[in-house]
Amino acid sequence: PGILSVAYLPVDRVQRHCDLKCLSSIPVQVFTTPTQVPLKGPATCETVSRYDNNGRVETTTLRFRSLDAIPTTHPLAFIVTDVNRQSYLVGLHEPPYPIVRSTQTTGTPSGDPAVISYEVTFTALKALIPLG
């Protein structure tokens, strides 16, 4: 129904093999405090599952806008919390890492905000991992 918050953390702070743990019904948790992203407008998160090379693969796309710049010099993982207070991890300790694309706009005189739009794309065996 909606996303309450988006946060990020370095991938080296994420447990190893979270996708395999999730597929094995082992609970996954994050044991560090992530950096919250102040959202500007609604955020969306979409996961698509498909067959690829005789196996199932998921691709998650997270889109949000913010006034703050996110450091993208090192690989990041993202934590998405929905309105039901369920949190999900997008990203793993191991490569491939999420791809972060950003677009900065200056806004328009008619009232469009000057924001940075982010699109995070991540493909793995399990790309949207429930936390808890």
- Kindly tell me the burial class for residue 120, based on how many C-beta atoms sit within 10 Å of its own C-beta (0-12, 13-18, 19 or more): buried
Mean pLDDT of 125-132: 92
Q: In the block, which residue shows the tokens 């191991």?
A: 94
For residue 91, list its beta bridge partners.
none
Is residue 52's pLDDT more than 70?
A: yes
Report yes or no: 98 and 90 within 8 Å, Cβ to Cβ: yes
| Structure confidence by residue, pLDDT tens digits, 78-96 | 999 999 999 999 999 999 9
How many whole angstroms separate alpha carbon 116 and alpha carbon 71? Answer: 12
Is pTM beyond 0.85? Reply is yes
